[in-house]
């Protein structure tokens, strides 16, 4: 049970996090996160599960453009031209997390939890990078379901992406 986040995290999300951590432990792989709109919620979940959290190497919460550039090396051209909520930024965030960690897999989350001018509510970009391998992107439009729901839905997607990457690594071995 994810003690600090219980009962805020739905059971299916917790079970998925446990499965991701177990798969990482079984393969002796380390995970990292690069989060924006989820504000470290995924890192918190992955470190709150007893007995498996050692598979989590680090989490980077990069809420501002400056943080994305400084901590993850997201190029200024991406932030200026594509924006912080874009495929290019999500990919650069995940790849920056791999580059700046000892992790084998890193997932990034960047989006709009709430809407605004030119900011569609619930638009979230994800990327999962693998050391020495390809980076996979996914975009979801969750809609104006509220900040908490966007964040929970983002957790599900990011965990599914990590699980798929772990399964791909197992199949390739």
pTM as predicted? 0.95
Please tell me which residue, 2 or 98, carries the higher pLDDT value.
Answer: 98
Instruction: Please say whether the dihedral angle defined by the alpha carbons of residues 169, 124, 153 and 93, taken in this order, is positive or negative.
Output: positive
Question: Residue 39's closest CA among 10, 64, 66?
Answer: 64
**How crowded is residue 58: how many other Cβ atoms within 10 Å of its Cβ?**
17
Which domains does the chain possess?
A: 11-172 (3.90.950.20)
25-41 pLDDT, tens digit each: 999 999 999 999 999 99
Give the DSSP letter string of 123-163: EEEEEEEETTS-EEEEEEE--SS-HHHHHHHHHHHHHHHHH
49-79 pLDDT, tens digit each: 999 989 999 999 999 999 999 999 999 999 9
């Amino acid at each position: 049970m994810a003690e600090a986040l219980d009962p805020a995290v739905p059971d299916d999300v917790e079970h998925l996090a446990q499965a991701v951590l177990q798969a990482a432990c079984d393969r002796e792989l380390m995970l990292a996160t690069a989060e924006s709109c989820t504000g470290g919620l995924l890192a918190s979940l992955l470190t709150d599960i007893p007995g498996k959290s050692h598979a989590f190497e680090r989490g980077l919460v990069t809420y501002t453009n400056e943080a994305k550039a400084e901590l993850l090396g997201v190029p200024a051209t991406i932030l200026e031209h594509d924006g912080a909520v874009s495929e290019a930024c999500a990919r650069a965030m995940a790849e920056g997390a791999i580059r700046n960690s000892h992790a084998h897999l890193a997932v990034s989350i960047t989006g709009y939890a709430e809407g605004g001018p030119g900011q569609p509510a619930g638009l979230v970009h994800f990327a999962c990078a693998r050391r020495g391998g390809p980076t996979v992107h996914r975009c979801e439009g969750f809609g104006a379901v509220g900040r908490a729901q966007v964040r929970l839905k983002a957790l599900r997607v990011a965990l599914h992406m990590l699980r798929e990457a772990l399964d791909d690594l197992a199949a390739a071995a």
